[in-house]
Amino acid sequence: MSRETISQSISIVHPISLSHGKNAEVWDTAGKRYIDFVGGIGVLNLGHCHPAVVEAIRQQATQLTHYAFNAAPHRPYIELMDRLSAFIPVDYPVSGMLTNSGAEAAENALKIVRGATGRTAVIAFDGAFHGRTLATLNLNGKVAPYKQKVGVLPGPVYHLPYPSADNGVTCAEALKAMDRLFSVEIDVDDVACFIIEPVQGEGGFLALDIAFAQALRRFCDEKNILLIVDEIQSGFGRTGQRFAFSRLGITPDLILLGKSIAGGVPLGAVVGRKALLDNLPKGGLGGTYSGNPIACAAALATLEVMTDAQLQAWGTRQEEAILRRYETWRAQRLSPYLGRLTGVGAMRGIELAHADGTPAPQQLSQLLSLARDAGLLLMPSGKSRHIVRLLAPLTIEPVVLEKGLDILQACLKQLD
């Protein structure tokens, strides 16, 4: 099968071609089976082809495949927004809009905060990833490969260190950098919002420092700055809770959603305080495909399955299995390149590093290849592409999870 018609600017992690999948397993066109610890990069918290999602798609496809909501509203969009507003764990009335992706949700959030505040400046964080569209590129806290060769980006955007026990940046250091930013770079009264991930995804599954999150919330309240929390990868049960911001003890003003919102069907959303979402003129928000009926039906089925009890049980089971294995590997000194375990809940990363603590991206590349040959798909992350993301579906069968960890163990042992 030729790939000459596909842009060579698209980077491929695994040079295979998939044909089908079921829960936490996929098969390529040659018939080889893989255990999937990638999950469509965090999209498939409910696994491949979850029966409830498939049935919802099938039923909706027989009734209405598409209608642009801003032309004429349809029931799946309305029902989903009602369900989402109840699913978001905040104490204020929720309003929102559906989008085609997480990046589109971020773009619309920027429009919303500009309209609400009359300000334009945005503060993001080192290591952040919010999308590949032109405005979201500037939010990303990493140049290569996202910002290379695309010229001047929309702004103004400023970056601060991301404080986390997983990267060694303390709350005090981040607050000091923030004080410097407003003393040297920009007037605080020009800032519309902060945008932050409660657990960085592309950055290496780094969990945000709780004290900093609470200090940031207080600062935003004092300065009338809005706080956007990006839950695109960490949301919908990835950490064992509905959303990762709950562990921080804060309430965002706007929340970005995507990835696992609809069981694999393209969908995103920006939700938050109703007064913010209602401040733009009529027609200021919307989109032709945003909130497609089939995607909405899939999302409704997804939310039906994601009860708090299920999310906690799935998250705890996966977290305990990963922690148990990792602690055993460390005790056994399985590999000289086995570094820290990052993240929280079932959103975990394994760092590969040299003895002096410097990143080991070559060994990670070797690990991806070894694991793929052995029937396990893994995904890299981190500034130096040296942290393995573990994104198995939350619904993975225990025996399949253990088999995947067996393969990972064997491959770690082979690294040279």
| Residue 218: other Cβ atoms inside 10 A | 10
Q: Are 319 and 399 in contact (CB under 8 A)?
A: no
Q: Please indicate, yes or no, whether residues 346 and 362 belong to a single structural domain of this protein.
A: yes
Residue 188 lies in a domain: yes
- DSSP-assigned states of every residue in 100-147: SSHHHHHHHHHHHHHHHHS--EEEEETT----SSHHHHHHSS--TTTT
Does one domain contain both 406 and 365? yes
| Residue 374 CA: distances (Å) to CA of 48, 250, 377, 393 | 20, 42, 9, 19
334: domain range? 308-414
Q: What is the DSSP letter of 48?
A: B
Residue 28 in domain: no
pLDDT band at 6 (very low <50, low <70, confident <90, very high): confident
Is residue 17, in this structure, part of any structural domain at all?
no
Task: Quote the tokens at residue 146.
Answer: 């996202």
Regarding whether 316 and 188 lie in a shared domain, the answer is no
186 and 295, same domain (yes or no): yes
Which of 98, 139, 392 minimizes the C-alpha distance to 258? 98
Q: Band of the pLDDT at 133, cuts 50, 70, 90?
A: confident
Closest CA to 232 of 220, 244, 247: 244
pLDDT of residue 2 exceeding 70, the answer is no
Residues 188-228 pLDDT 10s: 999 999 999 999 999 999 999 999 999 999 999 999 999 99
Q: Mean pLDDT for the chain?
A: 94
Helix or strand holding residue 371 (H, E): helix 361-374
Q: How far apart are CA 349 and CA 403, in angstroms?
A: 18
Is 90 exceeded by the pLDDT of residue 375? yes
- In sequence order, the β-bridge partners of residue 409 are none
153 pLDDT more than 60: no
Q: Which of 246, 275, 305 is the last residue of a domain?
A: 305
- For residue 128, the Cα-to-chain-centroid distance in whole angstroms is 10
Average pLDDT over residues 128-133: 87
Question: Is residue 250 located within the same domain as residue 319?
Answer: no
Q: Are residues 274 and 313 in the same domain?
A: no
Domain endpoint, select from 264, 281, 305: 305
Please report, for residues 83, 98, 203, 336, the alpha-carbon distance to residue 162 in angstroms, rounded to integers and kept in the order given.
32, 28, 10, 27
- By CB neighbour count within 10 A (0-12 exposed, 13-18 middle, 19+ buried), where does 91 fall? exposed
Indicate whether 1 pLDDT > 60: no
Strand order in the sheet with 347-352: 338-344, 347-352, 387-390, 379-381
Phi, psi dihedral angles at 280 (to 5 degrees): -80, 160
The number of helices, as runs of H, and strands, as runs of E, in the chain is 12, 17
Helix axes 308-332, 398-414, angle to 10 degrees: 30
Alpha-carbon 134 to chain mean position = 18
Same domain, 259 and 314: no
> Are 95 and 280 spatial neighbours (Cβ–Cβ below 8 Å)?
no
Strands 387-390 and 379-381: antiparallel
Kindly state whether residues 326 and 265 are assigned to the same domain: no
Dig out the tokens for 368 from the structure.
């991806």
Residue 383 phi, psi dihedral angles, 5° rounding: -55, -35
**Same domain for 182 and 201:** yes
Per-residue pLDDT tens digits for 50-95: 999 999 999 999 999 999 999 999 999 999 999 999 999 999 999 9
pLDDT band per the 50, 70, 90 thresholds, residue 143 = low
In the chain, the number of structural domains is: 2
pLDDT at 148: 67
Residues 331, 296 share a domain: no
